[in-house]
């Protein structure tokens, strides 16, 4: 997340989420405030509905009545969002919106982060955290989406797979 821009939750009238999101985006463009209001998002999920005609996938709002806005909070940006038709206000104290925490933003899946890992399957890594701290092993599987890595370590003369988080291992520098 950028230093000043944070995600805020805006409450809307029921069914007005798309109207509010479009209104905020349009107003920010018209007033050249894209540097203050950077992104507007309506969290959606894809669900399968069972009907008489068979199954079909449908997009559904994750939080009906709410829109997420990534913005730098100033009086001007607050007024733009607050005075958008269909918006009833920010989540938080009346004139003091509370931004989402980094963990909440990641949990909602609003921002997608590019994760770069300095190792891959077959590489030798050292465990740097946890009960197996100091052990060397070979990367078997890597899943950056889930922040996990499976490492094969040799314990008591046996090859043993262990599942760790990405920050619990580091690549071994080969000379």
Average pLDDT over residues 145-171: 88
**Residue 8, pLDDT score:** 94
pLDDT at 104 over 90: no
pLDDT at 68 over 50: yes
**pLDDT-based confidence at 40, cuts 50/70/90?**
very high
Residue-range domains of the chain with CATH? 6-108 (3.30.70.940), 124-171 (2.30.30.30)
Residue 65: strand pairing partners? none
What does the radius of gyration of the chain's CA atoms come to, in whole angstroms? 23
User: Bigger pLDDT: 146 or 68?
Assistant: 68
**Cα-to-chain-centroid distance, residue 76:** 27
Say whether 140 sits in a helix, a strand or coil.
strand
Burial 97-123, CB ≥16 within 10 A → b, else e: bebbeeeebeebeeeeeeeeeebeeeb
**Residue 78, pLDDT score:** 93
**Residue 107, pLDDT score:** 76
**pLDDT-based confidence at 37, cuts 50/70/90?**
very high
**CA–CA distance from 29 to each of 22, 85, 163 (Å)?**
11, 16, 47
CB neighbours of 51 closer than 8 A, spacing ≥ 6?
A: none
CA distance 98 to 72: 12
Q: Do 82 and 29 contact (CB within 8 A), yes or no?
A: no
**Residue 136, pLDDT score:** 92
Q: Is 153 exposed, middle or buried (0-12, 13-18, 19+ CB in 10 A)?
A: middle
The percent of residues in the chain predicted with pLDDT above 90, rounded, is 49
Mean pLDDT estimate for the chain: 87
CB neighbours of 162 closer than 8 A, spacing ≥ 6?
A: 132, 137, 150, 151, 152, 153
């Amino acid at each position: 997340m950028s230093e000043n821009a944070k995600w805020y939750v805006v409450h809307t009238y029921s069914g007005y989420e798309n109207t509010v999101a479009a209104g905020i985006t349009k107003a920010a463009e018209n007033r050249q405030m894209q540097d203050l209001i950077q992104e507007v998002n309506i969290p959606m999920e894809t669900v399968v509905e069972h009907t008489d005609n068979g199954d079909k996938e449908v997009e559904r709002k994750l939080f009906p009545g709410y829109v997420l806005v990534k913005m730098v909070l100033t009086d001007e940006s607050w007024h733009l969002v607050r005075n958008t038709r269909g918006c009833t206000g920010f989540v938080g104290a009346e004139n003091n919106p509370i931004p989402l925490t980094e963990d909440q933003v990641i949990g909602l899946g609003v921002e997608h982060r590019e994760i770069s890992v300095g190792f891959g399957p077959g590489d030798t890594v050292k465990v740097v955290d946890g009960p197996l701290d100091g052990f060397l092993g070979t990367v078997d599987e890597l899943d950056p989406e889930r922040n996990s890595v499976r490492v094969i370590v040799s314990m008591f003369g046996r090859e043993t797979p262990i599942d760790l988080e990405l920050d619990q291992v580091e690549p071994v520098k080969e000379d």
